[in-house]
Structure formats: structure tokens, C-alpha cells
Amino acid sequence: MAEKAEYRSSKRSKSMIKKAFAKLLHEKDISKISVTNIVETAEISRGTFYAHYRDVYSLFDQIENEELDKLLSLIDEIGYETILSSPKAFLNETLKYLNRDMEYYKMLFLSHNASRFMLRIKESLETKILSDNNSSICASKRPYAAVYISFFASGLSLTITDWMKGSLSISLDDLSDILSEIMRKAFNFESKDLAGFEIVR
């Protein structure tokens, strides 16, 4: 029982720290954020912060790594071929996940250091889908697949960011539907011309 209580307390402390940090990132660059800023915003002690993180940058790295791990786990769960040929399930699950704590993710995506985070998301998607271990994409079409995936990974992250900013006046469900349809039409796996790339059957 004591261990469970300690775990819940630790989990709660880390959540408070992350949300305070995300709020501060939304207001200023990471170079201007101190541990003092974080503990005062989170209303915790410095000891509680240092029980979990070495410094501000280790906190940022851990947040990025945790979010990327969740995204890559989702890719594994849904499957490469399903994502590329029918992206709606992946988009729905991704947007549903963001919606669980939208204010937190808005602060991260719209923060002063968001470009680094978005670049890591894009690179992770490309690496994961185009990895040598993924044989679902025909080898001769990999260069074309790389261009498509790079283009859409960049476009997806920027479009979701625009929606978070309020620049796109549509619901989350409509956003998912529109993005899914655009990707479905672009990833035309039956095409034999240079604009498409085929799945190995």
C-alpha cells in the first residue's frame, strides 16, 4: 500500500512539473527557464524537482522521449501498411491521444522550442516507417516513399499546430477526416507510375 501511495505521489509530482514546464515554454525560450521558475509555477519544492530530473534540459529531453515513445508505440500497434494505405485509424488515435490533455499539448506544440520537438517527431516517423526492418515498402520505391513521408510528416505536424492555434475553424473529427482523405489519395499504392509506390505483397 505504501509503495502504491509513493508511486501515485511521484506520478503526480512529475505531472505537475511537466505542466508547469510546458506553461513556461509557452511563455519563453528554454534558455530563459530556471529550476526556480518551474518549482514556483508547479508549487513544489526544489527537492521534489531534483528527485526526478537533473536540470531543465534533462526534463525537456525526457518529455520529448516519452512523447516520441508513445507515438512510435502507436505506429507499431496500428501497423505500417495500415498507416500508409489507410491513415484514418492512425490519425484518429493520435488526435484522440492529444485530446486527452489538449491544453498540455497545445503548450508544447505552440512553445518557443516547438520547432525542435516537431523536427524530432518528423524524423522519428520517417525512421520508423522507412527502417530496414520494415519490408512492407518495395525497395525500388523507397526513394519515392521517403519523399512522400517527409512531405506528409511535415505537413501533418504543421497543420495540427495551426489547428491548435485556432487558425483552422473545424472540429477535431473533421480535421482527422480531411487529413485522412488527403493522405489516402496521395498514397496511391495501386499506381505503377513514378508518383506512387507499391506495397510488397
What whole-number distance in Å separates Cα of residue 33 and Cα of residue 14? 17
| Structure-model confidence comparison of residues 154 and 19, the more confident one | 19
Per-residue pLDDT tens digits for 143-164:
777 787 788 778 888 898 899 8
What whole-number distance in Å separates Cα of residue 10 and Cα of residue 24? 21
Considering the chain, what is the average pLDDT of its residues?
Answer: 80
Spell out the long-range contacts of 46-54 with Cβ–Cβ below 8 A and sequence spacing 24 or more.
Answer: 48/13, 48/17, 49/17, 51/10, 51/13, 52/10, 52/13, 52/14, 52/17, 53/17
What whole-number distance in Å separates Cα of residue 126 and Cα of residue 44? 39
The residues, any chain, with a CB within 8 Å of residue 194's CB and separated by 6 or more, are 144
